[in-house]
Structure 1
Amino acid sequence: MSDKIYFKSDNRFNLKKHMLNVMTRAHHRVAPRHAEKTAIKLLLTPVRAKPKNTVPSDMIEGSISSREGLLKTYQMGSGPVWVFTHGWSGSANQFFPLMQYIAEQGYTALAFDHPAHGSSEGSVGHLPAFVSGLEAVLESTDQVKGVIAHSMGCAAAIECKHPKLINKPLLLIAPLLDYVSNLFGSIERSGYSMRLFRSVVSKVENEYNYPMASVDPFEKLKNKTAPCIIVHDKHDKFAQFAVSKQAATKMSKVKLIETQGLGHGRILQSQQAQEAFDELITQ
């Protein structure tokens, strides 16, 4: 259900949305603690999607510890490490074809399932947990060459302050550079009580000491000194292509590669993603 909330963009009046707003507001007013627990379960519980790609025969599976529990890792190839970070309700499995390509170019491809995603432990997911998971993976490996990210994973990669990412190139695929407005806009369009949602956000902020007001991937990307290539489909329904185009226009280190007809997910297996990687390693 969380996917339908976060990835719904219809602004038209809908009776179900109206009733959801009325019920969640009443629930929060009458039983605030129970309403918050319900909201956390609904809004912060990603869908554990079934794997679609076959596991390559030379894939090495493992796990690492994090504050969220054990995170499942997937590694192949040898040489400098490119770390992969997926998006909401995604998993490392989405990257397997691209990982195989990168391993063939003489690099190590290292992906992992974020907390509460794929085969990793954890029951809830959110941006602070994504950043925490990425930091745990970075701590577990050396020779980090760069990061390849998709969707919400792009926001986590940009937000992450780990020293191993300083001056490291980024390949951002269908990024959510306007993460906060996208998130709050999606919840508001769903009809869910915004006051209740803000209460849930506040709990996460306090637990992780991670104020939502500090989250701004677009602005933080401006301060990156290493090259960045964005691969984004012009008709992406979930992440705004216009924001990526704006980034490439305003930021000298950012280049945009446009695609058509690949959407938000299929773009991960595109030739353009491979070509973007090839270009990035020559810069």
Structure 2
Amino acid sequence: MEEIMSQDIYFGTEKKFSFKRSALNAVTRLHHLLIPNHAKKMGRKLLLTPVRTKPKNIEPKGLIKSKLNSSEGELSLYQLGSGPVWLMAHGWSGNSSQFFPLMEYIASQGFTAVAFDHPAHGESGGEHAHLPAFIEGLNAVLDAKENVVGVVAHSMGTAAVLECHHVKLEQVPLLLIAPVLNYTENLFRSIERSGYSIKLFKAIVGDIEDKYQRSIDSFNPYQRLQQRTSQTIIVHDKKDRFSSFDLSKSASDYIEHVTLYPTEKQGHGRVMSSKEAMKAFDDLNT
């Protein structure tokens, strides 16, 4: 039940939550008032536990699986092809199998596609996840891989890539699929929409901020994108219900090095294996 709620809070719609908003708000506020430590423990279980979704696609022939130790636990890596490395980062409650079709295409073009399951996702270790954990996992993979020439990221994985300060990411081109460019705003709006106690949520976030020594208010993927100088292509469906297409269009309109490839009827997930995503990869390598 907790995993389903976690998915719904981050990706639900206002209409979906309207009937339970008041009840959830009252229960979580009272819980936090009476038993604050237990409320935070249950809140972490509810809000920081992604759904471990089953593989979305069949494993491509020649796929190499491996494990990598990180500060966030053991990570599962998936590698296909040979040549310079394109690294791939999935989103919340996703897994690397979502990239398999694109990985096959990348490998066919003379590159190595490397995907990994974020902490508490897919076949990686860990119980809880959040953006700082995503970033630490990404740092570990970047430390382990040489000749990284580009990155593909989806949804919340795009926020992790843009907020990551690893030197290997400074000048590489980015392919951002259905990006979450307003991460903090989107997160708090989702929590408010669900009815969950904002005060309790801030207490949970505060513990994460203390551990990683970074404020949630410091996360601003759109601003990080503005500060980059390498070529970036965004592939985003016009009717995406979970991340803002309008914000992607704004980035394309106002940031010189950013180009938007819009799609239709691909949604938030199918767009990862769309022809536009493959064309974007080709264009970033010409």
Give your verdict on TM over 0.5: yes
Q: Does 1:201 align with 2:205?
A: yes
Q: 1:75 to 1:12 in 2, by over 3 A?
A: closer
Gapped regions of structure 1 (runs ≥ 5): none
Runs of 4+ aligned structure 1 residues displaced above 4 Å come to none
Amino acid at match of 1:83: L
Match of 1:104 in 2: 108
- Which of the residues 20, 27, 31 maps onto 1:27? 31
| Identity rate, percent | 54
Match of 1:224 in 2: 228
Match of 1:88 in 2: 92
Match of 1:166 in 2: 170
Match of 1:252 in 2: 256
CA contact (8 A) 1:205 1:212 kept: yes
Once residues 237 and 60 of structure 2 are traced to their aligned partners in structure 1, the CA distance between those partners, rounded to angstroms, is: 27
Secondary structure in structure 1 of the residue aligned to 2:45: helix
CA RMSD of aligned residues (A): 1.0
Superposed displacement of residue 8, structure 1: 1.2
Once residues 276 and 181 of structure 2 are traced to their aligned partners in structure 1, the CA distance between those partners, rounded to angstroms, is: 20
Once residues 192 and 28 of structure 2 are traced to their aligned partners in structure 1, the CA distance between those partners, rounded to angstroms, is: 12
Once residues 168 and 183 of structure 1 are traced to their aligned partners in structure 2, the CA distance between those partners, rounded to angstroms, is: 27
Superposed displacement of residue 13, structure 1: 7.8
Aligned residue runs from structure 1 range 133-144, under 5 A: 133-144=137-148
Superposed displacement of residue 15, structure 1: 3.7
Q: Does 1:45 align with 2:40?
A: no
Match of 2:73 in 1: 69
Q: 1:116 to 1:192 in 2, by over 3 A?
A: same
- Which of the residues 9, 12, 30 maps onto 1:8? 12
Once residues 17 and 149 of structure 2 are traced to their aligned partners in structure 1, the CA distance between those partners, rounded to angstroms, is: 48
Once residues 100 and 12 of structure 1 are traced to their aligned partners in structure 2, the CA distance between those partners, rounded to angstroms, is: 37
Match of 1:157 in 2: 161
Secondary structure in structure 2 of the residue aligned to 1:62: strand
Superposed displacement of residue 14, structure 1: 2.7
Match of 1:211 in 2: 215
Match of 2:246 in 1: 242
Once residues 166 and 13 of structure 1 are traced to their aligned partners in structure 2, the CA distance between those partners, rounded to angstroms, is: 40
CA contact (8 A) 1:92 1:118 kept: yes
CA contact (8 A) 1:36 1:199 kept: yes
Match of 1:188 in 2: 192
Once residues 125 and 16 of structure 2 are traced to their aligned partners in structure 1, the CA distance between those partners, rounded to angstroms, is: 37
CA contact (8 A) 1:158 1:217 kept: yes
Q: 1:192 to 1:55 in 2, by over 3 A?
A: same
Gapped regions of structure 2 (runs ≥ 5): none
Amino acid at match of 1:80: P
CA contact (8 A) 1:11 1:189 kept: no
CA contact (8 A) 2:84 2:148 kept: yes
Match of 1:131 in 2: 135
Once residues 96 and 114 of structure 2 are traced to their aligned partners in structure 1, the CA distance between those partners, rounded to angstroms, is: 9
CA contact (8 A) 2:17 2:193 kept: no
Amino acid at match of 2:22: H
Match of 2:126 in 1: 122
Secondary structure in structure 1 of the residue aligned to 2:20: helix
